[in-house]
């Protein structure tokens, strides 16, 4: 028991140490300051901007930034769809795979474009190496960079700067952050035993005289951007539970650090943009404390094990169902909470086998979306909650609602409301439809409370751009492939549009003089209130489904029924 919690504690210490360093580097990149990679990347970037007709100093308005995001994402999605559709005619296809069914292909393409990477297929039996690397790998970089760019544009707007240029932000996010660190991380994964090859599936003779097929491929490079970009889509069907994606404790540590690095660092990056490191650390610790509590809830649940199993066999042992023995209960529970907190969606064990406490923590992350949140957008959602808190406390205290010297008015609250309300709409309405037809639509494999969790988790994962799932659900059907597309698309782009418009409006506001009546947002009291508002809003929207799902399941297990 002690060793498991020690592993969790050491990982968190590394995260705390990395956050200010990476956060400062990200700020330098997007503030246009000098970095170590300038001598290598500047000529490449200049050539790209000249060919694309982009001028680096041209700021975009909110709508221009939105149009650039949508147009580029549509174009990338069409290109990738065609690449996979014609994969039989393209190179690096040693196993001769043809095109997947149209609904699977459409779902896969949109899922990766939106940085969700929700997978209703097994990569090793569906896609060629070219499709994995040139199609999905390409989207892993661009979708992560899109979210990062939108997050930075939002921070710029809040701090009174222009939103910047999307194409410049997209390129710099890839060339200065995602690509170089992914190369270093991929080399580290190869050292730990992750394969990187273009050789075809290996045929192996077993001791019984049979044949076993070992799928392999360029896994290390795919794996690193999967985690560092918070994409989460696995090269293999079982994702990071596969020994070729995540062979040992060293690779597991590297991949967990990669998942949380950018979401945690972006809070510090905000502090540099706002010239308020104190507030950045307060928000960091607010998120950190909630995260640690959720990790503790999940870990204790897995450590205590299943009471029905323990009673039946007269022993006390952790819940090891659905877990890789090389990770055990602690690292599996920790990973599950981290992957849903960061909106990565990668898994190193089966979430469907988690105890109700683990399901509670993972669903809570998918509902709130700010612990730590997705690539760039999670930081924006965090400040949406902060703006709502400023408005509420200003009304209650009789003070003018202001944030960073700029008034919070009706337009900002309406846009913040859109961001907060669209998520429960995209989760609860389709879940209700699927649960109304449990046989024909939802394909629930577990009756009762756990089946409710399966359905709600699938839509929450899609709407939150996470991608993980409770894989007892038979989700590779026409219904799931098409219905989750609504949550994938709307859950990605409607909040993006709202936060960019909000940022544009804030950037154009005149900064007002601070007075004794101005509400300070960089205090411990205000940060505590922000945490309370965040938790209350999440509970109001999603408590009923939590009560019907993991909470009810936990109570039934505790009662021995």
Q: Which DSSP string corresponds to 139-201?
A: HHHHHHHHHHHHHHHHHHHHTTS----HHHHHHHHIIIIIHHHHHHHHHHHHHHT--B----P
pLDDT at position 516 is 66
Question: Is the confidence at residue 3, as pLDDT, over 90?
Answer: no
pLDDT averaged over every residue in the chain: 91
* Predicted confidence band of residue 356 (pLDDT cuts 50, 70, 90): very high
The whole-number average pLDDT for the span 199-226 is 89
* Predicted confidence band of residue 203 (pLDDT cuts 50, 70, 90): confident
205 or 438, greater pLDDT: 205
Lowest mean pLDDT across 326-330, 335-339, 352-356, 403-407: 403-407
Question: Is the confidence at residue 399, as pLDDT, over 80?
Answer: no
Question: Is the confidence at residue 180, as pLDDT, over 90?
Answer: yes
pLDDT at position 18 is 96
Question: Is the confidence at residue 1, as pLDDT, over 70?
Answer: no
The whole-number average pLDDT for the span 194-214 is 87
Question: Is the confidence at residue 392, as pLDDT, over 70?
Answer: yes
Local structure of residue 508 (DSSP, 8 states):
T
Token digits of residue 431: 């879940």
pLDDT at position 283 is 95
pLDDT at position 431 is 94
Which of 235, 269, 121, 244 has the alpha carbon at shortest distance from 194? 244
Q: What does the pLDDT look like over 414-433, one tens digit per residue?
A: 999 999 999 999 999 999 99
Question: Is the confidence at residue 440, as pLDDT, over 70?
Answer: no
pLDDT at position 108 is 96
Q: What does the pLDDT look like over 75-131, one tens digit per residue?
A: 999 999 999 999 999 999 988 999 999 999 999 999 999 999 999 999 999 999 999
Per-residue HEC secondary structure of 460-484 comes to HHHHCCCCCCCCCCCCCCHHHHHHH
The whole-number average pLDDT for the span 337-364 is 95
Lowest mean pLDDT across 167-171, 251-255, 303-307, 313-317: 313-317
Instruction: Please name every residue paired with 204 in a beta bridge, in sequence order, or none if there are none.
Output: 212
Domain segments of the chain as ranges: 2-559
Question: Is the confidence at residue 400, as pLDDT, over 80?
Answer: no
- The Cα–Cα gap between 440 and 464 comes to 25
C-alpha distances in angstroms, 514 versus 169, 272, 522?
32, 20, 14
């Amino acid at each position: 028991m002690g060793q498991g919690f020690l592993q969790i504690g050491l990982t968190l210490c590394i995260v705390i140490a990395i956050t200010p360093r990476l956060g400062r580097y990200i700020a330098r990149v997007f503030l246009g300051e000098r970095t170590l990679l300038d001598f290598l990347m500047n000529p490449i970037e200049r050539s790209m901007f000249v060919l694309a007709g982009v001028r680096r100093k041209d700021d975009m308005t909110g709508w221009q930034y939105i149009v650039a995001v949508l147009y580029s994402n549509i174009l990338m999605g069409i290109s990738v769809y065609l690449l996979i559709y014609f994969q039989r005619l393209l190179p690096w296809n040693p196993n001769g795979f043809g095109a997947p069914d149209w609904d699977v292909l459409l779902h896969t393409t949109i899922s990766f474009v939106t940085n969700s990477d929700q997978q209703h297929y097994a990569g090793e039996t569906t896609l060629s190496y070219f499709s994995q690397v040139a199609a999905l790998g390409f989207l892993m970089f661009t979708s992560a960079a899109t979210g990062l760019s939108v997050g930075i544009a939002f921070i710029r707007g809040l701090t009174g700067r222009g939103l910047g240029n999307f194409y410049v932000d997209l390129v710099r996010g890839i060339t200065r952050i995602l690509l170089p660190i992914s190369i270093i991380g991929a080399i580290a994964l190869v050292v730990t035993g992750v394969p990187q090859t273009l050789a075809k599936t290996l045929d192996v003779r077993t001791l019984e005289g049979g044949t076993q097929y070992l799928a392999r491929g360029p896994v290390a490079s795919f794996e690193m951007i999967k985690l560092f970009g918070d994409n989460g889509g696995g090269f293999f069907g079982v994702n990071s539970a596969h020994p070729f994606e995540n062979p040992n404790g060293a690779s597991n540590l590297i991949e967990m650090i990669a998942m949380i690095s950018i979401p945690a660092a972006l809070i510090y990056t905000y502090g540099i943009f706002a010239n308020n490191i104190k507030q950045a650390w307060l928000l960091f610790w607010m998120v950190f404390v909630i995260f640690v509590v959720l990790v503790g809830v999940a870990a204790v649940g897995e450590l205590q094990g299943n009471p029905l199993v323990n009673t039946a066999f007269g022993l006390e042992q952790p819940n090891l169902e659905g877990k890789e023995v090389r990770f055990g209960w602690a690292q599996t529970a920790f990973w599950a909470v981290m992957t849903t907190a960061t909106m990565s969606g990668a898994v190193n064990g089966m979430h469907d086998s988690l105890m109700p406490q683990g399901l509670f923590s993972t669903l809570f992350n998918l509902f709130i979306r700010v612990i730590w949140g997705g690539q760039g957008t999670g930081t924006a959602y965090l400040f949406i909650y902060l703006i709502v808190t400023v408005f509420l406390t200003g009304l209650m205290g009789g003070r003018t609602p202001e944030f960073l010297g700029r008034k919070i008015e009706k337009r900002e609250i309406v846009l913040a409301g859109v961001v907060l309300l669209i998520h429960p709409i995209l989760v609860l309405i389709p879940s209700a439809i699927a649960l109304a037809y449990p046989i024909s639509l939802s394909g629930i494999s577990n009756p009762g409370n756990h089946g409710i969790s399966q359905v709600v988790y699938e839509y929450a994962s899609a709407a939150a751009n996470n991608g993980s799932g409770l894989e007892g659900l038979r989700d590779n059907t026409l219904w799931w492939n098409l219905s989750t597309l609504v949550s994938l698309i709307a859950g990605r782009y409607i909040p993006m549009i709202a936060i960019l418009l909000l940022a544009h409006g804030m950037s154009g506001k005149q900064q007002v003089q601070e007075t004794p009546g101005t509400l300070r947002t960089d205090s411990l009291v205000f940060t505590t209130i922000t945490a309370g508002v965040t938790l209350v809003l999440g509970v109001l929207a999603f408590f009923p489904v939590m009560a019907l799902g993991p909470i009810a399941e936990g109570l039934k297990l505790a009662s021995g029924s």
